[in-house]
Amino acid sequence: MVQALNRALSDEMEADPDVIVLGEDVGTLGGVFRVTDQLQAKFGPHRCFDTPLAEVSIIGASIGFAIYGRRPVPEIQFDGFAHTAFEQIVSQLAKYRNKTRGTVAVPVTVRVPYGGGIGGIELHGESPESYWIHTPGLRVVTPGTTSDAYWLLRESIRCNDPVIFLEPKRRYYLREDVEFPFTGAPLDKAVVRAEGTDVTLLAYGPLVRTAMEAAAAGPADGLSIEVVDLRSLSPLDDETILTSVRKTGRCVVAHEAQRTLGVGAEIAARVSEAAFDVLQAPVLRATGFDTPYPPARIEQYWLPDAERILDRATQAMEY
């Protein structure tokens, strides 16, 4: 996936001279995870450059670049560091187009490696998507496969809205045979990754692979699971979600983030409002726990795995 993201950045910088990349160690080093490797050598230090260790200034500078016609792609090095840029993202980046009555777009794509599963220290395993989804004016997307990482990032950079691009870092080394340039689904569309008839399983980012593992194990428990990769968390693709739920009559939402007021809560409300007539069980959630993200040595017990997801699917069937 790292190589796919790197290729997407390179292809967009090649196609559009206004695309620039900035952040901590993205230039000479090529990023902590090497997503920006060799971009500075290829495009020069004026288009891929290092910044001070100050996330709020990275986003503030990106807004300024965008106002003057550039398409900045800033990198926040780790999920937990994005909180220090919260004010600039929520108060300025998300609102600028609206407060100029649509006359000034700020096409900034903020790349944020997120989620747990890499044995990281404190502030290196956060899932902050709900903060951004709750903020009107932002698009929030996250890829679940290597090929989609390429296409989704290219689509995000071309979008005139600000995009929070969440990269599932424990899937950075996920391998897939991809022929570039790859073309995928539109930016705001969900994708059915596995067909099924008993339960709709909605997942995104790092849990797409886990959901596929659960779907593969389902037949042994007598379960036929349909996996929907949400891809876009804001806006949500209600049409694809509801089409699947109307087919199966049951819905389970899986995400790493804490349960309370997570994406699953919003989807449960939407499905209940729009498809109550077909539901054969409540919408259930397989999530992280309502605690701070744990130390690395016990994170495997905190993160939802295929077993926890299958347990929720079985509960839905037995309701």
Q: Which two tokens stand for residue 179?
A: 């022929």
Alpha helical stretches, state H, 196-262 = 207-217, 238-248
Scored b (16 or more CB within 10 A) or e, 43-82 reads beeebbbebeeebeebbbbbbebbeeebbbbbbbbbbbbb
**CA-based diameter of the chain, in Å?**
60
Contact of 226 with 248, CB cutoff 8 Å: yes
Burial class (CB in 10 A: 0-12, 13-18, 19+), 206: buried
* Chain-centroid distance, C-alpha 70: 23
Residue 124 appears among annotated catalytic residues: yes
Contact of 308 with 274, CB cutoff 8 Å: no
Specify which residues 173 forms β-bridges with.
Answer: none
Contact of 107 with 162, CB cutoff 8 Å: yes
- Rounded CA-CA distance 63/122 in Å is 29
Q: Which helix (H) or strand (E) holds 3?
A: helix 2-15
Query: Phi and psi at residue 268, in whole multiples of 5°?
Result: -60, -40
Closest CA to 213 of 316, 95, 92, 313: 313
Distance in Å from the first CA to the final CA of the chain: 39
CB atoms within 10 A of CB 99: 11
Catalytic pick among 46, 83, 124, 134: 124
Residue type at 159 in one-letter notation: C
Please list the active-site residues: 124
